[in-house]
């Protein structure tokens, strides 16, 4: 190994409690004592920050998703957030019954194809995106990603960090990691025991869970799309009614004119207030312009329904019945999908679709009446002019009198309430149900019941409510009988056990420091272990007593073959890399051999650290050190004291390129200054 190279020594504006490197990029996530979370590039260029939460709320865990696209932040107020790597925006916020202690992940890049999903030709067509919905549809194939959340009393398994797929009761754990094939979970508890949980059934059902994760992504995308479409519907209607009401209010100057209009229709008598408005406030040109504008707006509203809202409902209906078919399959019984829940969701979607059809019918009916109203009003204005042809005007008026009369009667006492569509966009029952203003009642369709009294928003809210129940309890049958087994221990540990875990394709490494400042470190590799201690590790002593045991301040898995250590020897602090491949097989023992005298089994590992893989850290305060390492990026960050952070590049070689622009994602830094954090 080559000497370590210091890149920077920086004082931050806050006290860092947790930090972790991205597995894919040179991004370092820092959690401050205040609860604020900041992501930096490795040269301290701030990318984004998450503001500090309420007073007293702190960050309890930080973790990057294995693909590096999301950061998981857990808070002490019992919720955690999935944050986008580029923007820092929260994509999901999940409330829990307790605060998360830590996270661990597996990524199976070989398991990308999804089983039991119908061919694309059999699905309804893809949705037509519109300008206010920019998110692309989710890809059909994604590698399997599973997250394990450690709580005080349980372990929560989650697909892609957002879809819970099983809960295991396992109290008092410090840490836990699931191996790559999901057959074993290895953990360490507060009693000092090394614990194993056998999850063979979960392993055999990963294909089914991966399929459910695919459907969950599809359903969430469709719900977001449908929500955007309905929001666009409401905005379109707001534009229509705002323009129409504004113009008509200008005409009437706030007066109630329904009685005057009805008297004109029935008896042909024109009141003085109405005559004044029609002669001096209303012009034929203005009425024609308003009529064309309103008609165009209603046409746009109908287009949104047919090109966006209904297709989204159809795809949701299709996907639900695909999931229902899988739920009836014997292989998926343990997924714990409720047929009753799927039926209620299907019913809610059908009722929503019927209400969308009803809104379309009402809009069509409403625009016909508005056009008749404007024609009649226009003809009336023209008839009052001196040069009007009275006979022609009367012929034009006669055809619209009945329709306008019925339309004004339906306005319920306010001649300005000419729109009947807006009531569908309120979260309350309809003011004027469909049967009351002349639209033929929609027939009861065999696969659903049409509820005439509800609004579109009520049906949509009901659909969202039942959708929340879709994947509740997913996968619980696969881990129902899983219980922790103490396979070794207890080790004598203090209150502040330090741990680090790394899951590779073959092994789960669990690095344990029984107490801060311990002289011993225990490393578990699956169901084997080794005990390490560090004496003087080169010929020239660093301190007055070269044989003095080093205390281990902090340790973290750098890679599956290297452990990064912060060692303390008197007033000297050393950063060192220890290669695990130097531990020969006799020193890797079966966990059943771990006895009370485990310290006597320690290998003096200092002999394997030489001048090429260590560095003395100057000006360090005892007990202040925490570290974050990135094996893929060969970077290390150490909190040396207080707010001071030291950044180092590990394994430097002379011919190494300085090019740092090979990230998979383009991340823009906000700036670089001493005040950034």
Residue predicted with more confidence, 135 or 152 = 152
Rounded CA Rg of the chain: 35
Residue 639 in contact with residue 9, Cβ under 8 Å?
no
pLDDT tens-digit readout, 24-69 = 888 999 999 999 999 998 788 899 999 888 888 999 999 999 989 9
Dump the DSSP string for 1-56. Answer: -PPPEEEEEEE-SS-EEEEEE-SSSSEEEEEETTS-EEEEETTS-EEEEEPP-STT
Specify burial of residue 443 (Cβ count, 10 A radius: 0-12, 13-18, 19+): exposed
* pLDDT level of residue 642 (50, 70, 90 thresholds): confident
Residue 451 in contact with residue 351, Cβ under 8 Å?
yes
Beta bridge partners of 92: 82
pTM: 0.80
Residue 213 in contact with residue 160, Cβ under 8 Å?
yes
Give the mean pLDDT of 389-400.
54
The Cα–Cα gap between 494 and 510 comes to 17
The Cα–Cα gap between 17 and 31 comes to 6
The Cα–Cα gap between 83 and 90 comes to 4
303: three-class secondary structure by DSSP: helix
pLDDT tens-digit readout, 266-284 = 555 666 666 666 666 666 6
630: three-class secondary structure by DSSP: strand
The span from the first CA to the last CA of the chain, in angstroms, equals 32
Which pLDDT score is estimated for 112?
80
Q: How many CB atoms lie within 10 A of CB 383?
A: 17
Boundaries of every domain in the chain: 5-205+477-649, 220-464
The Cα–Cα gap between 391 and 383 comes to 9
Highest mean pLDDT among 176-185, 376-385, 391-400, 595-604: 176-185
The H or E element spanning position 353 is helix 339-383
Which pLDDT score is estimated for 657?
44
The Cα–Cα gap between 305 and 359 comes to 9
Q: Over 70: is that where the pLDDT of 125 sits?
A: no
Is CATH 2.130.10.10 the classification given to domain 5-205+477-649? yes
Which pLDDT score is estimated for 614?
83
pLDDT tens-digit readout, 521-571 = 899 999 999 998 887 554 444 444 444 557 888 889 998 889 998 888 777
Dump the DSSP string for 186-250. Answer: EEEETTS-EEEEE-HHHHHTHHHHHHHHHHHHHHHHHHHHHHHHHHHHHHHHHHHHHHHHHHHHH
The Cα–Cα gap between 390 and 147 comes to 80
Count the helix, strand and coil residues of the chain and give each as a percent rounded to the nearest 5. Answer: 35, 25, 40
pLDDT tens-digit readout, 159-174 = 998 899 999 999 989 8
Which pLDDT score is estimated for 456?
92
Contacts 24+ apart (CB under 8 A), 126-132: 127/222, 127/225, 127/308, 127/311, 127/312, 127/315, 128/307, 128/308, 128/311, 130/228, 130/229, 130/232, 130/304, 130/307, 130/308, 132/228, 132/231, 132/232
Give the mean pLDDT of 612-638.
84
Contacts 24+ apart (CB under 8 A), 464-468: 464/223, 466/341, 466/344, 466/345, 466/348, 467/219, 467/223, 467/345, 467/348
The Cα–Cα gap between 107 and 120 comes to 26
């Amino acid at each position: 190994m080559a000497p370590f190279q210091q890149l920077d020594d920086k004082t931050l504006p806050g006290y860092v409690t947790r930090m972790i490197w991205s597995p894919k990029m040179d991004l370092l996530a820092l959690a401050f004592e205040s609860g604020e979370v900041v992501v930096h590039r490795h040269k301290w260029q701030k990318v984004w920050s998450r503001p500090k939460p309420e007073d007293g709320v702190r960050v309890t865990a930080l973790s990057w998703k294995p693909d590096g696209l999301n950061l998981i932040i857990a808070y002490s107020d019992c919720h955690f957030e999935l944050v986008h790597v580029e923007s820092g925006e929260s994509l999901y916020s999940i409330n829990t019954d307790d605060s998360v202690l830590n996270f661990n992940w597996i990524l199976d890049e070989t398991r990308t194809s999804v089983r039991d999903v119908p061919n694309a030709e059999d699905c309804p067509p893809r949705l037509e995106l519109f300008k206010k919905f920019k998110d692309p549809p989710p890809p059909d194939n994604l590698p399997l990603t599973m997250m394990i959340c450690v709580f005080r009393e349980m372990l929560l398994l989650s697909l892609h960090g957002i879809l819970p797929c099983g809960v295991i009761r396992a109290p008092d754990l410090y840490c836990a990691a699931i191996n790559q094939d999901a057959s074993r979970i290895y953990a360490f508890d507060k009693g000092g025991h090394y614990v194993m949980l056998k999850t063979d059934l979960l392993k055999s059902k990963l294909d089914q869970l991966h399929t459910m994760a695919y459907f969950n992504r599809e359903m969430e995308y469709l719900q977001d799309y449908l929500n955007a479409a309905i929001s666009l519907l409401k905005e379109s209607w707001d534009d229509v009614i705002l323009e129409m009401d504004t113009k008509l209010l200008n005409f009437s100057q706030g007066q109630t004119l329904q009685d005057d209009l009805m008297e004109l229709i029935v008896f042909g008598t024109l009141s003085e207030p109405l005559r004044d408005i029609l002669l001096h406030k209303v012009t034929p040109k203005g009425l024609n312009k308003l009529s064309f504008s309103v008609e165009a707006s209603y046409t746009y509203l109908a287009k949104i329904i047919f090109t966006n809202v209904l297709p989204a409902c159809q795809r949701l209906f299709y996907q639900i019945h695909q999931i229902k078919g899988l739920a009836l399959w014997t292989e998926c019984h343990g997924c714990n999908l409720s047929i009753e829940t799927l039926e209620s969701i299907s019913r809610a979607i059908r009722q929503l679709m019927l209400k969308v059809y009803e809104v379309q019918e009402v809009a069509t009916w409403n625009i016909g009446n508005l056009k008749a109203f404007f024609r009649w009003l226009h003809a009336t204005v023209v008839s009052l002019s001196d040069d009007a042809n009275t006979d022609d005007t009367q012929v034009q008026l006669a055809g619209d009198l009945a329709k306008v009369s019925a339309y004004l009667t339906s306005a319920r006492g306010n001649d300005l309430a000419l729109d009947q569509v807006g009531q569908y966009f309120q979260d309350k029952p309809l003011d004027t149900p469909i049967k009351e203003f002349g639209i033929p009642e929609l027939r009861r369709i065999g696969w659903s019941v049409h509820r005439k009294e509800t609004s579109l928003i009520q049906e949509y809210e009901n659909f969202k409510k039942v959708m929340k129940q879709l994947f509740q309890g997913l996968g619980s049958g696969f881990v129902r009988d899983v219980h922790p087994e103490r396979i070794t221990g207890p080790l004598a540990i203090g209150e502040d056990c330090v741990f680090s875990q790394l899951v590779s394709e073959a092994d789960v490494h669990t690095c344990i420091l029984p107490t801060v400042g311990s002289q011993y470190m225990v490393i578990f590799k699956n169901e084997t272990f080794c005990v390490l201690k560090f004496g003087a590790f080169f010929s020239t002593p660093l301190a007055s007593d070269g044989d003095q045991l080093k205390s281990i301040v902090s340790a973290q898995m750098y890679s599956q073959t290297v452990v990064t250590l912060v060692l303390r020897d008197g007033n000297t602090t050393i950063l060192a890399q220890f290669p695990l491949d130097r531990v020969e097989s006799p020193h890797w023992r079966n966990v059943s051999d771990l006895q009370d005298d485990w310290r006597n089994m320690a290998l003096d590992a200092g002999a394997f650290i030489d001048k090429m893989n260590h560095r003395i850290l100057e000006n360090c305060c005892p007990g202040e050190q925490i570290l974050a390492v990135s094996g893929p990026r060969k970077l290390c960050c150490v909190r040396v004291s207080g707010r001071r952070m030291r950044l180092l590049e590990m394994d430097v070689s002379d011919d190494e390129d300085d090019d740092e622009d090979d990230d998979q994602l383009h991340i823009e830094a906000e700036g670089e200054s001493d005040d950034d954090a």
